[in-house]
Amino acid sequence: MTKTPPPVLDLCKLEISLPKGADRAFALEGLDLTINAGEIVCLVGESGSGKSLCAGAIMGLLPEPHVRVTGGAIRFMGEELRGKSDAEMRKLRGADISMIFQEPMTALNPQKTVGWQIDEVLRLHTKMTKAERKARALEMLERVHIPEPASAYNAYPHQISGGQRQRVMIAMSLVLSPKLIIADEPTTALDVTTQLQILKLIRELQEEEGAGVLFITHDFGVVAEIADKVAVLCRGELVESGTTDAVLNHPQHPYTRALIGAVPALTPPPVKAASDAPVVLKGTGLKKTFAARGGLLSGKRKAVTAVKDLTFELRQGETLGVVGESGSGKTTVSRIVTRLLECDQGSVELDGTDLLAATPKELRALRQHIQMVFQDPMASLNPRKRVVDLIAQGPIVHGADPKKAREDAKKLLELVELSPAAANRFPHEFSGGQRQRIGIARALAMEPKVIVADEPVSALDVSVQAQVLKLLAELRDRLNLSLLFVTHDLRVAAQLCDRIIVMQKGEIVEHGPTAEVFANPQHPYTQNLLSSIPGRDWTPPSLHANVA
Amino acid sequence: MTLHMPPILTYALRRLIQAIPVVILIMIGTFLLLKLAPGDTVDALVGDMGGADAAFIARLRAEYGLDQPIWVQLWRYMVKLASFDFGWSFVYEQPVATVLMDRLGTTLMLMAASLSIAFTAGIVLGAIAARRAYSATDNLISILGLVFYATPSFFLSLMLMLVFSVKLGWLPVGGIKTIAAFYTGWDHVWDVVRHLIMPTTALSLIYLAFYLRLMRASVMEVADLDYVRTARAKGAREGRLMTHHIMRNALLPVVTLLGLQFSTVLGGSIVVETIFTLPGLGQLAYQSVVQRDMNTLMGIIFLCAIIVVVVNFLTDLLYARLDSRIELA
């Protein structure tokens, strides 16, 4: 009779305490989690739920003594990890337990070659010779499907793409065939097509090696794509766990239900009858190239074309989505139409006036009619100004009576569902979602005809994202606003946009009503994008009605 | 990164061409500024002689070309400078080039020694302070650094002199070598080193604090970065993190400062050289100002401009060596 092997990882009543003055006493409270060999367990939660600290606790890499494990057991292959010396933990790290991090850009040392960094793991844990190590590293690069492993071996991280960097990171963590792989949001920073490739790669290698994987993510689409089992964390407490099917399709706990209910379904709004509303924003033949850094004497300046020959129309009351991956030029479009960036060619007509030909004085007047909402609500609000002043600043600059502008600002706060009592607070006193509401109020203060929103919800948690999207949609309908909505997230686009344009390398490859493009994509790039959406086969159950 | 010859040569050539207008502008600016100051060489000469009649003064002025309009004087000076002719020093009765070359060695020695010590000690102490941030060691290092930084260089110099020369009698009070000792070989070298110990200490202690503070901040910042966490997750020990992952990245801003500070150290050497009567460019500059030795002063400034340009070029090369992301273009 064979004894069943112990699980790869067994967390029992794990408790991590936070320093005094934190928003709660424990980052994790009594977490139970078991990962068997060959299993991918997704740990899901919003920011601040304690999911990354869980990874730190297993690796023995918590920022002690402020944050430390104060209770419970961490058993790896049946062996208790708590109380192990630093030297013992170092032997495990990188060899038996390895980690894949979120940001492939910053997780690799910029001053060392890819080869060196993979080699380091082997140097630290094995007695292999230099030649053996190099052969092993090259073999790993091959296994993670990096084209030309030999040249990647000698490349510095900045010389390869983001997706390739994440492949290198995976090669590095798997080079010693660890029994447990902890992946902390490994695909969050990647484009959707790259994300799918990386998810497939993790799955493929994990099946070959039979390792257990703890996969930390906030994205239910990714969960649907990769998980065998799911555990949902809410403010340090495990609220629900089970098989992927059970949790995703029949969630029990109200928090899980709310989270899943907030995931935008991939069903676009129905096609509206061809609108005869007036065109408020019209771009014609827009072109923008960036001159790359070049030498005075070397004579070759490589120009990068960010946008080439872009034409679009935005009608009143309509939402036009601009979707594409990084480098597609979608952010450049948003900067050109607001003339935050000078364009090389073409015209942008705002209500019939050419914005790009306007003199500085005319431009200042026109700016009132086109306002922006930015991606990072923290970085785009001046931290030293009170919220009321941030909102009233625009109207005051345009000649409004300061006192009245401040009164109006308070009304706007109500409009974006914030308390007018918060008017005298500073941006850092608000959460991410609230800050984005302030950003929207700031844009609305000018009573613009057009709002250009550049990834306004991509920095937000899914439940907050849903609220902000709902608010945007409501305001658009109530104020008859026209929205130019730039996003990389096709789920978000599906939820909000009437029409979308799909951009690739500075060009529109496809455009049309969202429902039509989603149902029947014509261009291969659009088809690829749509088929890469994580969890595209999973339709979040409709739970909105019964959310507590 | 490997530096292939052709790109680096183009780069050097481009930097050289960029430097020419900079140096020309510096020289024109200095020339005009010095002309604005009251008094010229003739005034100083006449003052030394104890006075002279107006006709004699006018003749002297004509002889030196000082009676010409300022633009003519400037044009003549710049034309001569173009062929590296610095003119004649009326104070030293020698060509300015000769005077400068006599003094250059001392100053370069002083500066090289001070900066190397300040830089090396600064990054080592800064790294130690960062790794033990907010501990007693860190506080001690930081306080000492600030004390030296806040102390005026002349005071520090005089105190060193008082303790090590006057009280203890270990080190010579001033000068670059023992006069009339006629040492040769290693004895001569040792003699010069003994003379340089105090000036170098005085100058380096002041600049040490800059490198120390910057290195401390830089190491603390880099130590928090993701790739250091990655290395830790690979099983690397703390010492290895420092030597293989943190140091080189943390050095980058410090190297930038090194290039920028070279010129201020050049300025600082004026005070130190004057106090320790070191026959260097700094002391010469001070004397030239007092004696209105315009040609010598302009020569010194030209030389300093060139040194600063060269040092900044070398810093950029070093930077590119240290940072694989930077390509010289």
Nearest to A232 by CA among A36, A463, A43, A33: A43
CA distance B236 to chain A (A): 7
CA distance A309 to chain B (A): 31
Other beta carbons within 10 angstroms of residue A163's beta carbon come to 20
Residue A108: closest CA among chain B residues belongs to which residue?
A: B227
Residue A57: closest CA among chain B residues belongs to which residue?
A: B233
Residue B323: closest CA among chain A residues belongs to which residue?
A: A111
pLDDT of residue B59: 85
A interface with B, Cβ–Cβ below 8 Å? 59, 61, 90-95, 98-99, 101, 103, 106-112, 120-121, 124-125, 156, 158, 169, 172, 293-298
Q: How remote is the C-alpha of B49 from its chain's centroid?
A: 35
d(CA A37, CA A211): 5
Helical H segments across chain B, by residue range: 5-36, 41-49, 54-64, 70-82, 96-131, 136-150, 153-160, 185-223, 226-233, 238-240, 247-275, 281-290, 294-322
Residue B225: closest CA among chain A residues belongs to which residue?
A: A106
Q: Band of the pLDDT at A115, cuts 50, 70, 90?
A: very high
User: Which amino acid is it at A4?
Assistant: T
Nearest to B263 by CA among B305, B302, B233: B305
- Rounded to the nearest 10 degrees, what angle do helices A432-444 and A462-479 cross at? 20
Which residue shows structure tokens 């739920």?
A49
The H or E element that residue A181 is part of is strand A180-184
Tens of pLDDT, residue by residue over A227-278, are 999 999 988 889 999 999 999 999 999 999 988 888 888 877 777 766 778 8
CA angle B181, B107, B80 (to 5 degrees): 115
DSSP string, A257-301: HHHHHHSPPS-PPPPPPPP-SPEEEEEEEEEEEEEPP--TTT---
CA distance A115 to chain B (A): 14
Mean pLDDT of A505-519: 90
Residues 6+ apart with CB under 8 A from A172: A98, A117, A118, A121, A140, B230, B234
Reported as half-sphere exposure (CB side, CA atoms, 13 A), residue B28 has a value of 10
CB pairs under 8 A between A and B: 85
Residues 6+ apart with CB under 8 A from B20: none
Other beta carbons within 10 angstroms of residue A83's beta carbon come to 8
Nearest to A412 by CA among A380, A381, A389, A382: A389
Q: Which of A100, A120, A126, A158 to mutate to test the interface with B (most CBs of B within 10 A)?
A: A120
pLDDT of residue A42: 94
User: CA dihedral defined by A28, A29, A32, A37, rounded to 10 degrees?
Assistant: 10
CB-nearest partner of A93 from B14, B17, B235: B235
CB-nearest partner of B235 from A91, A103, A109: A91
CB-nearest partner of B10 from A95, A124, A295: A295
CA angle B218, B219, B223 (to 5 degrees): 120
Cis peptide preceding A65, ω within 30 of 0: yes
B interface with A, Cβ–Cβ below 8 Å? 10-11, 13-14, 17-18, 225-227, 229-237, 244-245, 248-249, 322-325, 329
Q: Band of the pLDDT at A182, cuts 50, 70, 90?
A: very high
**CB–CB of B230 and A108 under 8 A?**
yes
Residue A106: closest CA among chain B residues belongs to which residue?
A: B226
DSSP A191: -
**CB–CB of A59 and B235 under 8 A?**
no
**CB–CB of A108 and B323 under 8 A?**
no
CA distance B329 to chain A (A): 5
Residue B244: closest CA among chain A residues belongs to which residue?
A: A112
Residue B55, class by beta-carbon neighbours within 10 Å (0-12 exposed, 13-18 middle, 19+ buried)? exposed
The H or E element that residue A153 is part of is helix A149-153
pLDDT by 10s per residue, chain B, length 329: 444 456 777 778 888 888 889 888 988 998 888 888 777 777 777 777 777 788 888 888 888 778 888 888 888 888 888 888 888 887 888 888 888 888 888 888 898 899 999 999 999 999 999 988 888 999 999 898 888 888 888 888 888 888 888 888 888 877 777 777 777 788 888 888 888 889 999 889 888 888 999 999 999 999 888 899 999 999 898 889 998 899 989 998 898 888 888 878 878 888 888 888 888 888 888 888 888 888 888 899 888 888 888 888 888 888 888 887 776 65
